[in-house]
Structure 1
Amino acid sequence: MADLQDDLYPAAEVGRADEPGPPCPEEAVVVAPDTGEPVSDPDDAPLTRARAVLAAHPVADGYSGLPRALSRLAWYDLDLGESAVDADVPRLRRGRVGAVFWSLHLPEDDADRPVVAALEQLDLAKAVLAAHDESLRPARTVGQLADARNCGRVAVLFGPVRAAALGDSLSVLRALHDHGLRVLTLTGVSWAGPAGLTRFGDEVVREMNRIGMIADLSHASTPVVRRVLTVSRAPVLFSRSAARALRPHPANLPDDLLAEVGEAKGLCMVPLTAEQAGPTVRDVADHLDHIRTLAGPECVGLSGTYDTGSAHPQELHDPSCYPRLIAELLRRGWDDSEVGLLTWGNVQRVLRGADFAAHTAQQRRPPSTATLAALDG
C-alpha cells in the first residue's frame, strides 16, 4: 500500500513528515506601514471567532499516535513541552483540544503475539497518563469526557487498535475493554476481509455492541463496511477516512458509502494528512464540506493523525493549529452549531450511542462464548 500511496502522491507534493512547520501564532497582528501601530484585520475575525467557538466546543481528536512516539524516547515531559513529538500538552491547549483518541500500535515484528503487544501498549498509555495526571485524564464515557473538561484536563480514550489484538477470542475482547480499550479497527483478520464479515465476525460486532466498544471501519473493505452497518446496533466510526471523490486514497470513502454512513448515523473523521486530504488547509476544508453535504453535519469529525509520521497540510502541522482550520470553515459559511458538532458533539453522540446500545444488549444476552473454530471452522 505504501508503494501505491507514493505513486499517487509524490513527496514533492505532500512535503516531508519529519520537517516541522513554524508554530501557529496565537494572534495575527497587522500594523500600519506609516505608524507601525496595530490595525484591525478583517481576515483575522474568523480566527478570533474560531477560538471563541472552540472554547465552547473543543476538539475531540479521533486519532493520535502519541503512545508509540513516546515509546521511542528515553525521557519526556508532555506538561513542560516536548519537541520530539507533535502533541504535547501546551500545543493541545493552544489548539483547544478537549479529548483525543490514542491509537495502539501493533508492531509488525510482533505479528505472532498481538495480544501481548496490545496489552503492552495499554500499559504504556496508562503510565503516561499517570505521569501527567495534572493535564491528562483517562475517559471512556461522555460523562468522563465532561468531567475531564470541567477539571481542566484533556480526556484520553484508548483506541483504535487493529482487530488482530483480539487473538480471535471474545474473552480477550472483553479483557481489553476492561483495560479501557474503546475502539477496535475491523481489518487484518480472517473474519473481516475482502469478502466481508464471517459468522464469527458478526458475533464479534454483536459482542462489541454488548460491551460498548466502538467499531472503526477505516481501511476496511466495502463488504465489511456494509455488513457492519447492517449488524451493528451502535454507531460506527471511521477514524481516518476522507472523501475519495476529492482524493483517491484507498482509505477514503466513495460517495455512495458516505451516503450510507450518513443514513446509519456513523461518523467519518477526516485525517489531517497531506496524503489523504491534500497539502493545504483548504483541501481539508473541501473534504469536510463534501462529507457534510453527503452524510450530514452530524456525521463528520476530525482526526489530527499527529505523531504517526505522516506529512500534514500547510498550517496544520500540529494540534495547536486547529483554530486555523475552524477559521477556514467559518469563512465558508459553517455556523457555530455545525462547528460544534464537528469538533465535539458528534464524538459525544457516538460514545453515548455505544453506551446505550450496550445497556440494551446486556438486558438481552449474556457474554458470548462463540469461537472462531465453532462458527467458521
Structure 2
Amino acid sequence: MALLQDDPQHTTSAVGAPDRVTDAPCEPAPAEETLARARELLAAHPVADGHNGLARAIRSAPWSDIELGESTLDTDIPRLRAGGVGAQFWSLHPEADAGCAVSGVLEQIDHVRAMVGGYPEALRIALSSGEVGDARCCGRIASLLGPAEAPAIGSSLGTLRALHALGVRALTLTGVDWAPPTGLTRFGQEVVREMNRVGMLVDLSGTAPETMRAALTVSRAPVVLTRSGAQARTPHPANAPDDVLAALRANGGLCMVPFDAARTGPAVRDVADHLDHVRSLAGPGCVGLSGTYDTGAAHPGALRDAGSYPYLVAELLDRGWPEADLARLTWENLQRVLRDAEFTAKAAQERRGPSTARIEELDG
C-alpha cells in the first residue's frame, strides 16, 4: 500500500523545488477514487480557512513568488488552488520585535493588503460575507484580515473601531488585562459588546476556559476559535474543553480545528478525530478548518502544506461524513458565522451608538 509521505503526487508546486519531507508518521494513502471524490467536493464547496501566517512569513523568505510557487513556505497560489481554498483569514500577528502592538498590527494589515494587491488575478480582499461570495464567483480567493491580537487595541474602543474600519474582522482575546484567565473584566465585557456592535468576530483561541465561558455568556454574535482543537483529545492549553464546545451549539459559534501537530496530533487521522469530537458536541454547523500554515507549526502527516486539504476530506469521506456536513465544514459554516455577525451588528447599531466606555471607569 502506498504511504502518504511517499506519494509522488503530493509535492510542492514550486518550479524545480523538491517536496519537503517531514518527521510525521507514514500513513496509508487514501484510495485514488476517494481522493478524486474529495477534490470534486472541494471544487463545489471550497475551504474557508481560519488562520494562515503567509503575510508575515513571506518577509523572511529568501525569494518569493507565490504565483509561481514558493518552495520555502507552506503556502502559495498553486497550492491554495490545489487544496481547494476559496477563502482565507490572513493572520495579523506582528513580528516578535514589533515593539508597539498597534503599529505592529498596522504593518501586518499593510503587508496583507500589499500581498493581495500583488496577485489580483488570484486574491481579493473581502470585508463581508457578501464580498466573500463575490470573490468566489469571480474565481478569486477571498482574503479576510485577521485575527489580530487584543494588545493591538490596548484599552481603547476607539482603536477597536479604527481597526475594524481598516478591515480587521477578528480579534483574539489574549494578552490583555481585561481578558485575564479568570474571565472578563467589566471593560472586557464592553469590548465584546462593541465587537458585536461593529461586526468583528470574537476569537477565543488560546484563551483560558473561564475567559471562553465569559465571552460566550456576553456575546450575542457567534464566537470563533480560529485554531483550537478539543482538549479531551489533546490536552493542549490552546484547545477547548468539552463544555465550551457544547456551548457553541447555542451560540452558533465555530471551532476551526488546526493542522498543528502539537494541538491535534501527528497524523491526518488525529485531526479527523478532533473534527469528529467537535462535531459530536457542537454539531455539524459549528466546526471548521484552520490550516495554520506558515505559522511555524509542525503539521500532521500528509497535511504538510496548503495543497493538502483533499487528504483530510478523503479521510472524512472514509469515515462516512455526508456531503452536507462536509460542505458545512469547508465553506458554509464560516459564511453563516460572518452573516450572523453582520446581522447582529446591524441590530445593535439600531439600538446604540459607539461605546465611550473607558477602562478606568469600569475596572478602576
Match of 1:303 in 2: 290
Equivalent position amino acid for 2:243 in 1: D
State the alpha-carbon separation in 1 of the partners of residues 269 and 78 from structure 2: 25
Distance 1:115 1:21, change over 3 A: farther
Deviation, 1:105, is: 1.7
Deviation, 1:134, is: 1.1
Distance 1:20 1:86, change over 3 A: farther
Distance 1:361 1:327, change over 3 A: same
State the alpha-carbon separation in 1 of the partners of residues 61 and 40 from structure 2: 35
Correspondence 1:343 to 2:327? no
**Matching residue within 123, 145, 151 for 2:138:** 151
Deviation, 1:262, is: 2.1
State the alpha-carbon separation in 2 of the partners of residues 100 and 42 from structure 1: 26
Equivalent position amino acid for 2:34 in 1: P
Correspondence 1:24 to 2:15? no
Deviation, 1:223, is: 1.7
Maintained 8 Å contact 2:53/2:90 = yes
State the alpha-carbon separation in 1 of the partners of residues 9 and 168 from structure 2: 33
State the alpha-carbon separation in 2 of the partners of residues 369 and 22 from structure 1: 58
Equivalent position amino acid for 1:316 in 2: L
Maintained 8 Å contact 2:61/2:73 = no
State the alpha-carbon separation in 2 of the partners of residues 136 and 84 from structure 1: 20
Deviation, 1:46, is: 1.7
- Per-residue CA deviations over 1:128-175 (Å, capped at 9, x if unaligned) read 111111110001211111111111111110101110000211111111
**Matching residue within 66, 77, 86 for 1:78:** 66
- Per-residue CA deviations over 1:11-59 (Å, capped at 9, x if unaligned) read xxxxxxxx99976269xxxxxxxxxxxxxx9922221111111111000
Maintained 8 Å contact 2:231/2:239 = yes
Maintained 8 Å contact 2:302/2:311 = yes
State the alpha-carbon separation in 2 of the partners of residues 96 and 218 from structure 1: 24
- Per-residue CA deviations over 1:317-373 (Å, capped at 9, x if unaligned) read 011110010010011000100000000000001100110001000000011111111
Match of 2:123 in 1: 136
State the alpha-carbon separation in 2 of the partners of residues 102 and 239 from structure 1: 11
Distance 1:132 1:42, change over 3 A: closer
Correspondence 1:94 to 2:97? no
**Matching residue within 161, 171, 181 for 1:194:** 181
Structure (1 or 2) with the larger CA radius of gyration: 1
Distance 1:190 1:23, change over 3 A: farther
Pick which of 92-101 and 67-76 moved more.
Answer: 67-76
Distance 1:73 1:315, change over 3 A: closer
Gapped regions of structure 2 (runs ≥ 5) = 13-28
State the alpha-carbon separation in 2 of the partners of residues 359 and 211 from structure 1: 8
**Matching residue within 279, 303, 309 for 1:316:** 303
State the alpha-carbon separation in 1 of the partners of residues 98 and 362 from structure 2: 27
**SS of residue paired to 1:307:** coil
Q: State the superposition RMSD in angstroms.
A: 1.9
Match of 1:57 in 2: 45
Correspondence 1:269 to 2:260? no
State the alpha-carbon separation in 2 of the partners of residues 174 and 368 from structure 1: 10
Pick which of 365-374 and 334-343 moved more.
Answer: 365-374
Deviation, 1:108, is: 3.4
Identity of aligned residues (%): 58
Using the size of structure 2 for normalisation, the TM-score is 0.91
**SS of residue paired to 2:206:** coil
Match of 2:191 in 1: 204
**SS of residue paired to 1:126:** helix
Maintained 8 Å contact 1:50/1:323 = yes
Equivalent position amino acid for 1:97 in 2: V
Match of 1:109 in 2: 97
- Per-residue CA deviations over 1:170-229 (Å, capped at 9, x if unaligned) read 111111111110000001100001121111111111110111000000111122111111
Equivalent position amino acid for 2:341 in 1: A
Match of 2:25 in 1: none
Equivalent position amino acid for 2:70 in 1: E
Maintained 8 Å contact 1:21/1:317 = no
**Matching residue within 345, 348, 351 for 1:364:** 351
Match of 1:16 in 2: none
Aligned residues: 344
Gapped regions of structure 1 (runs ≥ 5) = 1-18, 27-40
State the alpha-carbon separation in 2 of the partners of residues 67 and 20 from structure 1: 30
Equivalent position amino acid for 1:178 in 2: A
Maintained 8 Å contact 1:20/1:317 = no
Deviation, 1:84, is: 1.9
Deviation, 1:109, is: 2.8
Deviation, 1:254, is: 1.7
State the alpha-carbon separation in 1 of the partners of residues 341 and 189 from structure 2: 17
Using the size of structure 1 for normalisation, the TM-score is 0.88
